[in-house]
Amino acid sequence: MRMLDLFSGIGGFHKGFEQAGYEFEWVGYSEIDKYAAMVYQERFSDAKALGDITAIQPGRDLPSHIDILCGGFPCQAFSIAGKRRGFDIARILRHYKESGKPINYFVLENVKGLLSHDNGRTFSTIYKVLTDLGYTVECQLLNTKWVLPQNRERIYIVGHIGRGSRSKVFPIRESDSLLQKRRKTRQASRQYSTTITQNLMRGAHSGGETLIQVGNVDKKGHNSIWGRVYDTNGISSTLNSEGGGMGAKTGLYRIPEATKKGYAEAKVGDSINLSVPNSKPRRGRIGKGEAQTLDTGMQQYTIDKTAIRRLTPIECERLQGFPDDWTAYAGNHKISDTQRYKMCGNAVSVPVVELVATKIRSLHG
């Protein structure tokens, strides 16, 4: 098989297809982020670096035929597609169709908001562009939490060349036997975790950041826990306990939210999202036994015994389905935690890709 991996990031599509049993004789990848490209090349040394997608000339840079095209295209493509100018993925697909050797399948991933962007006109345009190229197009919102402890909804768009009555890849349901089999495999493997608590038990936390008090914002001057300011960009953690210092007796911590109750309770194994700490309408900060969607800024924390701390890069890798330290090094270059968080937040979830790839393989060979 030959695979073209566009907007490749740290190789989530490549890794997912490999875990689904695919073997590739050629893989080309396009990624403009310096560190993500370094990680990709480190993990897949035989892959061909293609640089910026806008500079790719299929007749010059790509082989005469490709079997699978993958891409987690960025939000910036919205405005381009919305103006009916197409996008680079379609440009490459069109080249192979016009050459008489169309790419058999494509798998694309994007944020949930693609469905509603510009009142649905953006997605409608993308769908039309792809079907006009002769593809049967399917799509579904899939959630990483079906297989890993991260609540991450993403839309997956699958296309296969030609019309007809082929079996469909979607819908994939939580009750599907294929998904159940994957979940059981994950739970039995030490490579992946099924809850954040298991991440902690497996020793993912080694030298990660904790919140250290550096001041107080209580206007009355009281050293109230609701007014304490902690480090990591001055986040106001606003933690409180149900009896005992820092939740020592009950293990419960109150996190203010814009709800009638005024707060939500977090305990060991839950995630706490402290992004936009001063937002008054913010709610849904607590993930019960799971992380919320990882992003590039990574302001998610968890309770470890009697302290709150930031999720570590290793935990973020696990929450996306990558092996430990997947993003830690590239050659002799040690990559900073800031870049590792960014790369994990931009990545596709490996087991979700694996699930889609396995379904394609089972239906179409």
Predicted confidence pLDDT, tens digits, the chain (365 residues): 999 999 999 999 999 999 999 999 999 999 999 999 999 999 999 999 999 999 999 999 999 999 999 999 876 554 444 444 448 999 999 999 999 999 999 999 999 988 888 888 888 888 999 999 999 999 999 999 998 889 999 999 999 998 765 678 998 887 777 677 766 665 555 444 445 555 544 444 444 444 444 344 444 444 444 334 333 333 333 333 332 234 444 567 777 777 888 788 888 888 888 777 667 677 788 888 888 899 888 888 887 766 678 888 999 999 999 999 999 999 889 999 999 999 999 999 999 999 999 999 988 66
| Structural domains in the chain (count) | 2
DSSP secondary structure code for residue 117 in this structure: G
The beta strands (E) that lie in the chain are given as: 2-6, 26-30, 48-49, 68-71, 105-111, 135-143, 150-151, 153-161, 213-216, 228-230, 253-256, 263-266, 271-273, 286-287, 291-292, 300-304, 307-310, 329-330, 333-334
* 300 and 352 together in one domain: no
Determine the pLDDT at residue 286.
87
In angstroms, the Cα distances linking 327 to 156, 333, 340, 355 are 24, 11, 6, 23
- From 285, 311, 337, the end of a domain falls on 311
* 39 and 157 together in one domain: yes
- The answer to whether residue 142 is domain-embedded is yes
- The answer to whether residue 340 is domain-embedded is no
* 158 and 229 together in one domain: no
Determine the pLDDT at residue 57.
96
* 53 and 124 together in one domain: yes
- The answer to whether residue 256 is domain-embedded is yes
Pairing verdict, β 150-151 and 291-292? parallel
* 353 and 257 together in one domain: no
- The answer to whether residue 329 is domain-embedded is no
139 carries an active-site annotation: no
Determine the pLDDT at residue 76.
56
Determine the pLDDT at residue 276.
73
| 16 backbone dihedrals φ, ψ, rounded to 5° | -65, -40
- The answer to whether residue 151 is domain-embedded is yes
* 12 and 151 together in one domain: yes
* 8 and 139 together in one domain: yes
CATH number at residue 17: 3.40.50.150
The residue from 75, 139, 316, 344 that is catalytic is 75
- The answer to whether residue 337 is domain-embedded is no
DSSP per residue over 192-206, as a string?
Answer: S-SSHHHHHHTT--S
* 44 and 175 together in one domain: yes
| Separation of CA 186 from chain center | 17
Determine the pLDDT at residue 323.
95
The amino acid at 290: E
Determine the pLDDT at residue 330.
92
- Enclosing domain of residue 263: 209-311
- The answer to whether residue 286 is domain-embedded is yes
* 278 and 157 together in one domain: no
* 104 and 36 together in one domain: yes
* 125 and 264 together in one domain: no
- The answer to whether residue 302 is domain-embedded is yes
* 245 and 126 together in one domain: no
